[in-house]
């Protein structure tokens, strides 16, 4: 089946794994093809924050998330951390956009410096060099001058820095509402339709 667009989604070891998992769920529900990558530390954080055990093998992870979110055949592809023949590693076959959510300061620094030691960093580098959309979702506080300088460097290269800072004007009633606020903003920047929350000035139906 034809997919609306292809998004590379990466989980790294920052706090905020519920944002990444919810984003994956909505992307698949909206008919987007997803190339999923995640770091070893992301597996630790997923277990700590969500009691979620992310499989170490890419094929097992693919099966797990397909079962969880009922993805269509071929809609979700998971790649290993050093799977250099993955399509995300080459500018000849880039995704339409990439999101790193959550994004560690280490990953952000590596991308800002052009380091490509892991597939996540290489995939982000491809987005920048091919002038495709790259969204980084850091969840850190406070930011040091080094963090801010790296973010500024990436913003000047065209990346979108979208910190996981939820608003409260939609009167969240639970943690899921707070998570959905951030995910909704990411989806807006990706051009993916959603009904996670009412927009400013609109009535909540």
Q: Is 15 annotated as a binding residue?
A: yes
Q: Is 104 within any annotated ligand binding site?
A: yes
d(CA 125, CA 134): 9
Crossing angle between the packed helical segments 175-190 and 17-29, to the nearest 10 degrees:
60
User: How many angstroms separate the CA atoms of 49 and 202, rounded?
Assistant: 33
Would you say 13 is a known binding-site residue? Answer: yes
Q: Work out the number of other CB atoms within 10 angstroms of the CB of residue 87.
A: 16
How far is residue 170's CA from residue 3's CA, in Å, rounded to a whole number? 31
Q: Is 153 annotated as a binding residue?
A: no
Is 151 part of any known ligand binding site? no
Query: Could you tell me the sign of the dihedral formed by the alpha carbons of 65, 58, 100, 134, in that order?
Result: negative
12 is in an annotated binding site: no
Q: Is 14 labelled as part of a ligand binding site?
A: yes
Annotated ligand binding at 71? The verdict is no
Pick out the residues of the known binding site for FMN.
Answer: 13-15, 39, 104-107, 139
Pick out the residues of the known binding site for dimethylallyl phosphate.
Answer: 169, 185
Pick out the residues of the known binding site.
Answer: 13-15, 39, 104-107, 139, 169, 185
């Amino acid at each position: 089946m034809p997919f609306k667009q292809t998004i590379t989604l990466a989980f790294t070891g920052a706090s905020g794994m519920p944002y990444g998992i919810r984003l994956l769920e909505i992307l698949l529900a909206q008919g987007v093809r997803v190339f999923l990558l995640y770091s070893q530390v992301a597996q630790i954080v997923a277990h700590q924050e969500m009691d979620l055990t992310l499989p170490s093998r890419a094929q097992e992870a693919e099966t797990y998330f397909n079962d969880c979110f009922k993805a269509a055949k071929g809609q979700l592809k998971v790649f290993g951390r050093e799977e250099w023949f993955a399509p995300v590693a080459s500018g000849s076959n880039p995704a339409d956009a990439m999101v790193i959510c959550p994004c560690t300061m280490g990953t952000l620094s590596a991308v800002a410096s052009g380091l490509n030691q892991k597939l996540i960093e290489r995939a982000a580098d491809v987005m920048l060099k091919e002038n495709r959309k790259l969204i980084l979702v850091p969840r850190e506080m406070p930011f040091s001058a080094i963090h801010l300088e790296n973010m500024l460097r990436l913003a000047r290269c065209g990346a979108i820095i979208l910190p996981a800072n939820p608003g409260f004007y939609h009167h969240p009633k639970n943690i899921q509402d707070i998570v959905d606020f951030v995910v909704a903003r990411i989806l807006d920047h990706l051009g993916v339709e959603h009904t996670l929350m009412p927009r400013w000035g609109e009535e909540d139906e």
